[in-house]
Chains A and B, each alone.
Chain A
Amino acid sequence: MASRILLVEDEINLGSTLQDRLGHEGFAPRWVKSAIEAQSVLSKESFLLALLDVNLPDGSGFDVARVIRADHPKTAIVFLTAAGSPEDRIHGLELGAEDYIVKPFHYKELLLRIQNVLKRAQFVDEGRSDGAWIKIGRAQVSFQEYQLLLDGGKHSLSHKECALLKLLNEKRGQVVSRDEILNLVWSEDEYPTPRTIDNFILRLRKWIEPDAESPTFIRSIRGVGYLLEKEPS
């Protein structure tokens, strides 16, 4: 089935060109021209990817992103915007966007970046058993729901937390190198450092480990990467 893409763009010529071209590539784009229209569509339909313009006539693409994060955590977000200042870019990525593309861009570049985002989203999605909750340390995790159950409470996982945990879980008992993590979990535009990965690991340990200060499940392998220990049988 064609990947469903929500395209929010108020510029008619650009919107219709993108809709045509993405359609020809085999995607199923749904083009809307305002934030209100986007929110209305999102209340009825779900998408694999949302391409959001930031400056909309009735609001901001950032507001639409917040709605998507809250109601459709599985939808990957990519901003397509003329606002290329560092502050805007950081703001977009902090809202959980997978990528931030500044206009003007080449169509092939856009296509490559859409494919990269979908590849990462597919990585989180593939191999999952619907509705399954997997025990990792002291928590139960659902990669399908992007959620984690801990002490009777539910925590939402971001795309990256989910992807990182899934990668470690898939390779339980094996060392996962930093390069492997960087290639599979992060987008090219985010420029993560080794410290970024450490911060994500610290966050995951707080949920998973009985004592995050002395981790027994997610172990650091000096100079290589991380290892998720097998559950004791």
Chain B
Amino acid sequence: MSKGDFIKKPDRRFKLLVLTQGLWVMTLVILALWWGTLLKQQSDEIAKLQTQLGVPESQVQSRLDRNERMIEGESGTFIILILVTNGILLFFYARDTRRSRSLEAFFASLTHELRTPLTSIRLQAEALRDIEDNPKHTPYLIRLLEDVGRLEGQVQQTLELARIEGGGELTAQSIRIKTFIQNRIVPQYTLNDSRLVFDLSLEECFVQADPSALIMIFRNLIDNAIKYSSDSPTRISFRGRPTDSAYHLDVIHENSKFLADERSLGRLFYRGSNSQGAGVGLYLIQSLVEKMKGKAKFSPDNHRFSAHLELLRTPEEVNHGL
């Protein structure tokens, strides 16, 4: 199995900040020392000139001593202020980073803990649906399953957001994209819901991607299509073609009610004009695709929402002529 990391180590940002801060402090301290030394030299020169001009030596010496004390005191205070200020800044940054990481860890652990009871609720609701023969109960069971599905989606998004924001890594694997969508994505919806129709006009190709990230990306897009669909069944088209190094995939939802400013789509917490969500889904899609060294673009045009994903192709495929 080919695998590799897509992204940087989680604490690299903090290390880079400490290094930059350290260099900045060192530059300021060296400059302060340099200006202090220069001022002392100037003071000595002035004292020499004053002596040559006939000012009494005791008076010159007394002024020189006073000037040197002042220069030393002010330079020292300046250096101490630089060090203290930077120390305080680093302390607050480290504290905030720690708090933010604790929060991320809390959300990650909470959502992780929610997954098992959610599975249990889903399986029991599915069992009831499968054995229930009173048609009066069916709508309630369908609604229960829909709500469980929505809750699962939210939990999954929160967990992924915490993971991505915490610098979580993705693992690159070679995936046959058409087979993946046919076998792993479409059945998740068509096995339980007949109100969705998929059109797969895809060319088969190996892409470098993380399978969990791909599932999250497609689930978000399909869930959005269901949420903003203005007709039933909801029709979603997958169109894909490879180029030399990339695979271009369009996920298109016709008859979408979603209204948004195209330039703001993909920004964290941007919810569009009529959004029912938290503004996390498209941001996650963009972040995940970028972490897989690809690109994502969204176009909400005239009752049609399309997501254009550019994914990396697996080089091995070319060698094997598959």
Contact = CB atoms under 8 A, between A and B. Distances in A.
Interface of A: 11, 13-14, 17-18, 20-21, 82-87, 89-90, 93, 102-109, 112, 178, 188-196, 223
A145 B206 CA distance: 35
Nearest to A12: B120
Contacts, number: 110
A11 B120 contact: yes
A82 B152 CA distance: 12
A192 to B, nearest CB: 7
Given A193-B206, A223-B321, A14 B2 contact: no
B211 A13 contact: no
A193 B314 contact: yes
Interface of B: 1-3, 112-113, 115-120, 122-124, 126-127, 148, 152, 163, 168-171, 173-176, 179-180, 183-184, 187-188, 191-192, 206, 210-212, 314, 316-317, 319-322
A85 B192 CA distance: 26
Nearest to A89: B212
B174 A87 contact: no
B180 A102 contact: no
Contacts of B176: 191
A139 to B, nearest CB: 25
Contact of B180 (A93, A104, A191, A193): A191
A109 B191 contact: yes
B191 A13 contact: no
A190 B1 contact: yes
B322 A194 contact: yes
Contact of A86 (B148, B171, B180): B171
Contacts of B115: 82, 102-104
A21 B170 CA distance: 34
B123 A21 contact: yes
Given A85-B168, A106-B126, A188-B183, 5 more contacts: A102-B115, A104-B115, A109-B188, A191-B174, A196-B174
- Which of A13, A86, A108: most chain B CB closer than 10 A? A86
B212 A188 contact: no
A107 to B, nearest CB: 5
19 contacts: A13-B117, A17-B127, A21-B127, A83-B112, A85-B168, A86-B169, A86-B210, A87-B169, A93-B1, A103-B115, A103-B116, A103-B119, A105-B122, A107-B122, A108-B126, A178-B320, A192-B1, A193-B317, A195-B320
B152 A104 contact: yes
A43 B321 CA distance: 48
Contacts of A188: 179, 183-184
B174 A193 contact: yes
A191 B188 contact: no
B123 A17 contact: yes
Contacts of B175: 191
Contacts of A193: 1-2, 174, 206, 314, 316-317
Contact of A195 (B168, B210, B316): B316
Contact of B123 (A18, A84, A189, A195): A18
A17 B120 contact: yes
A21 to B, nearest CB: 6
Contact of A82 (B116, B174, B206, B316): B116
B2 A196 contact: yes
Nearest to A196: B1
B116 A112 contact: no
B127 A107 contact: yes
Contacts of A109: 187-188, 191
Contacts of A178: 320, 322
B180 A14 contact: no
A90 B1 CA distance: 9
Contacts of B321: 223
Contact of A105 (B3, B119, B179, B180): B119
Contacts of A83: 112
Contact of A14 (B3, B123, B163, B210): B123
